[in-house]
A and B are shown apart, each in its own frame.
Chain A
Amino acid sequence: MTGEEGRAESRAGWMFVTPALALIGVFFAIPVVGAFLLSFTDFDIYSIGDPASTRFIGLDNYRTLFTSPLFWTALKNTAYYVAVGGPLSVAVSLVAALLVNARLTRWKPFFRSVFFAPWVTTLVAVALVWRYMYHPQYGPLNAVLGLVGLGPIDWLGNPRWAMPAIILVSVWKNFGYNMLIFLAGLQNIPAELYEAAELDGAGAWHRFRHVTVPMLGPTFVFVGIVSMIAAFQIFSEPYVMTQGGPLKSTLTLVLYMYEQGFRWWRLGFAASVAVVLFLLTLVGTVVQLRLRRERPA
């Protein structure tokens, strides 16, 4: 290749990446840096009319944040959602994948599609459906519970049950995605391993315990942590179903950020919540990278 052609290729390279880089730079990189800067200011509703009135206030927003009971409530609720919803969703995904992948299963594509269907739906729409499912008086869920003599439970009206109800919706909506990832992992396990185990007289449980579990381990860790990181960002379910209530029992970090920033227009303060969200995600990512490095290749 001559220098002339190399230059043409190099020019083309820059030309091809520029639109993407410009968009990512202007509408993502700069705003992310901006969020950090914003969190050190008192940017509020007055600043929107007159940006010059914004003052640099150092760490004051963080001081206010860490002494605000509402922030700790939001953090606690989010941690609850992540710690219970994350593992539950992974477990349901794994069970679904094992059932679909079982040797005796017929109509595999059918079951795979039905299990995956909730994932493609629009969250706002299905959250409204579930809001009705949970209706204390007319909801089908309580009707079913009533048949076995339980309830009725005021799912979304009781601070104890509102978060579990939201977790249930999330698991229902999202398990199909991780199920596909587990299915891919299961299909990558060489059939010879199962045949060898069977020749050695291993039953179904032993084959699962000594072939499937170790072979699927890395996928399991990956799916688990990615799901938990994503779970920190929950917003729409509580926004549509409970508006953070009752008694703030479903107020999550991102919902708190939204309310502070876009309802009360305390953008500087809300930015400090965004920074906390960023740091939590960062910790999750570092943990994931550590675990992946440690796993035997």
Chain B
Amino acid sequence: MRRKIEAVALHALLLLGALLAASPLLWMVSASFMRSGEANSSPPPLLPHAPTLEHYRALLTSQSLGRYLLNSVVISVGGTVLAVVITGMAGYAFAKLRFRGRDSLFRALLTGMVVPGQVAMLPMFLLLRQLGLINTLFGAMIPVLAPIYGVFLIRQYALSIPDDLLDAARLDGASELRIFHAIVLPTIAPVLVTLGVFTFLSAWNDFMWPLIVLSDDARYTLPVALANLAGEHVQDVELMMGGAVVTVLPVFLAFLYLQRYYIQGIMAGSVKG
């Protein structure tokens, strides 16, 4: 009997927590289908009285949301592909290829992990200005291209590749590039997916750097455009919620499909700590 009461209380708490966690997101979706001004009434309505797509239409036409969506996709997908290739190669080399200075180099990289990215932003801006990369999608992509934690993550995983396997391939006359392609890549594929998911997420959600580096409206990413929209259309709650839905939906779907990679990645990282 006591057990039953405990179980009921436990699940009541869990459901309350789930409601608190989910309600802002559910309300965001609901409000995006309300007519203009409907959300600004007291008490606040939970569901749209007569659902409408007018805000999504307005976002796609007069607010050129499609363009921001495209910019965000280019930066996130491009950045993720490059990051996976670049850090995949580096992580494997630090784990398995013997070369002079490897370990001290790796230690130096780890030291760099404690420096917050924002410390670099002012000089980075000046540097990109010199290079003509201000206001380009590539410029906005740069911070995600070679994440140090990614090199670390992949190295830890690649350490488990048996040396004998690599040496046998070398004896057979395989080039290092071929070994990487044929043996290493398939072995480290799971951790590459984990890294890819994390990189995509941080590139998509990033706000401060794109805000600094993208000055031309046509190059804005979704978060930058949304912050801008919120400044100009303070009263149009329903329109803003539509923009928020479009911004959140892609990462949310990616999460639903790939959540085991997230969860494994976070949990594995913490266990090694």
Interface residues of A (CB under 8 A from B): 1, 5-6, 8-17, 19-21, 23-24, 26-32, 34-35, 38, 48, 96, 99-100, 102, 104-106, 111-118, 120-126, 128-133, 135, 137-140, 143, 172, 176-177, 180-181, 183-185, 188, 218-219, 222-223, 232-233, 235-236, 239-240, 254, 257-258, 261-262, 267, 270-271, 274-275, 277-278, 281-282, 285
Residues 79-118 of chain B, each 1 if its beta carbon lies under 8 Å from chain A, else 0 = 0000000110110111001111010010001001011111
Known: A23-B86, A23-B146. A140 touches B27 (CB 8 A): yes
A27, A96, A267 pick with most chain B CB within 10 angstroms? A27
State in angstroms the CA–CA spacing of A180 and B244 once bound together.
Answer: 26
The residues of B that contact A122 with a CB separation of less than 8 Å are 204-205, 222-223, 244, 247-248, 251
**B237 sits at the interface (CB 8 A):** yes
Q: Name B222's closest neighbour in chain A (CB-CB).
A: A122
Q: How many A-B residue pairs have CB under 8 A?
A: 287
Within 8 Å of chain A (Cβ to Cβ): is B271? yes
Classify chain B: how many residues form its interface, as a range: 35 or more
Q: List 26 A-B contacts (CB under 8 A).
A: A10-B100, A14-B93, A16-B97, A17-B90, A28-B112, A28-B120, A31-B120, A32-B120, A99-B17, A104-B10, A105-B14, A113-B259, A117-B255, A121-B25, A124-B226, A126-B25, A132-B31, A143-B42, A233-B118, A236-B207, A239-B207, A261-B125, A270-B122, A274-B121, A278-B115, A281-B115
Q: Which listed residue (A14, A19, A99, A188) contacts B10, Cβ 8 A? A: A99
Contacts known (A133-B24, A254-B118); A31 close to B251, Cβ less than 8 A: no
B198 to chain A, nearest CB (A): 10
Q: Are A118 and B120 in contact (CB under 8 A)?
A: no
**Chain A residues whose CB sits within 8 angstroms of the CB of B208 once the complex forms:** 235-236, 239, 254, 258
3 A-B pairs closest in CB distance: A34-B123, A12-B176, A13-B99
Contacts A27-B142, A27-B146, A122-B248 known; list 15 others, CB within 8 Å: A1-B167, A11-B99, A19-B86, A26-B127, A28-B115, A31-B127, A129-B27, A132-B39, A132-B241, A137-B40, A138-B41, A172-B20, A176-B21, A274-B119, A277-B118
Which residues of B in the span 228-273 have a Cβ within 8 Å of any Cβ on A?
Answer: 230, 237, 240-241, 243-245, 247-248, 251-252, 254-255, 259, 262-263, 266-268, 270-271, 273
Instruction: Please tell me if the beta carbons of A277 and B97 are within 8 angstroms of each other in the complex.
Output: no
Interface centre among A9, A181, A185, by most B CB within 10 Å?
A9
Cβ of B43 and Cβ of A274 under 8 Å apart?
Answer: no
Q: Give bound CA distance, A137 to B167, whole Å.
A: 71
Q: Which DSSP category, helix, strand, loop or mixed, fits chain B's interface?
A: helix
Closest to A51 in B: B126
- Tell me whether B102 and A281 are in contact (CB under 8 A): no
Determine the distance from Cα of A160 to Cα of B123 in the docked complex, in whole angstroms: 35
B22 an interface residue at 8 Å Cβ cutoff? Answer: yes
Residues of chain B contacted by A104 (CB below 8 angstroms):
3, 6-7, 10
Q: CB of B151 within 8 A of chain A?
A: yes
A24→B27 contact, CB < 8 A: no
Would A120 and B201 count as touching, CB distance under 8 A? yes
Which chain A residues lie closer than 8 Å to B146 at the CB level?
19-20, 23-24, 27
